[in-house]
Amino acid sequence: NAGVTQTPKFQVLKTGQSMTLQCAQDMNHNSMYWYRQDPGMGLRLIYYSASEGTTDKGEVPNGYNVSRLNKREFSLRLESAAPSQTSVYFCASSHLAGSKETQYFGPGTRLLVL
């Protein structure tokens, strides 16, 4: 099992460009999450999907959109990238939504917006 995979690993964008970060899990988990991690800020939740067909905003959703394509895949889209979106993006999944669930994280996508 690969667990949670993310593509790409690194990306450089110019301000105003768009891109989609891909995430897939092979653990048959119902819930998936997108976080961003900035130096000295810890992880902040962008969006999550409690189950296939549902998505909800997290703490910092502005400037992002998500799609729960199917049970395995949860993508994060930046429509018009800004330098403030330079960060490391982590996708995670859990069997069910809920605070007692263990989350499994992908290796991250490092994004630089110039």
Partner 1 sequence: SQQGEEDPQALSIQEGENATMNCSYKTSINNLQWYRQNSGRGLVHLILIRSNEREKHSGRLRVTLDTSKKSSSLLITASRAADTASYFCAPSGDSGYALNFGKGTSLLVTP
Residues at the interface with partner 1 (CB under 8 A): 4, 31, 33, 35, 40-43, 45, 48, 50, 56, 58-59, 90, 92, 97-100, 102-108
Provide the 8-state DSSP code for 56: E
The contacts of residue 39 (CB under 8 Å, 6+ apart) are none
Q: Which two tokens mark 25?
A: 């899990």
Nearer to partner 1, 16 or 59 (CB): 59
Maximal C-alpha separation, the chain: 39
Cα-based distances in Å from 92 to 13, 18, 113: 23, 22, 23
Residues composing the chain? 114
Q: Tell me whether residue 83 or residue 107 sits nearer to partner 1 (CB atom).
A: 107
Task: Give the nearest distance from C-beta 15 to partner 1 in angstroms.
Answer: 25
- 93 vs 54: CA distance, rounded Å: 14
Residue number with CB closer to partner 1 (17 or 73): 73
Q: Which residues pair with 7 in a beta bridge?
A: 22
Closest CB 95 distance from partner 1, rounded Å: 12
Closest distance of CB 68 from partner 1, Å? 13
Pick 17 or 110: Cβ nearer partner 1? 110
Least separation, in Å, of the C-beta of 62 and partner 1? 17
